[in-house]
Amino acid sequence: MTTYPVFTVKPDGVVYDGILSKEGKWKYNSTKDSFTFSGEISFQSAEFDLQNNRWSLYILPEYKGNYSGLQFVGSDEGNIRCYLAYPDR
């Protein structure tokens, strides 16, 4: 568990990485049911598990070290599992 937000996904296609304080863009691919990222963001792609409100984020290899040692689940393997939270609720 972490006590601060790892990332914030905004409905206008913007994603904010709270670890590196970087902003990027996200795009949803309905054919593959997955998300991709661009810009200064450290994520490569993501899959969302609607049943469990959980994202599996795949970290770009060059950023993996930024997450290792921060006790994120799976960060050593290059992915992070995050649970959906609503900041205003």
The whole-model pTM stands at 0.72
User: Which residue intervals of 7-78 are DSSP H helices?
Assistant: 64-67
**Structure token digits, residue 82:** 């995050």
Q: Which helix (H) or strand (E) holds 15?
A: strand 14-17
* pLDDT of res. 5: 60
pLDDT in tens, 8-21: 888 899 998 887 78
Q: Rounded to whole angstroms, what are the CA distances from 9 to 12, 33, 37, 76?
A: 9, 16, 11, 23
Contact 2, 72 (CB under 8 A): yes
* pLDDT of res. 23: 92
Average pLDDT in the 32-48 region?
Answer: 88
Indicate whether 49 pLDDT > 90: no
Q: How far apart are CA 42 and CA 20, in angstroms?
A: 8
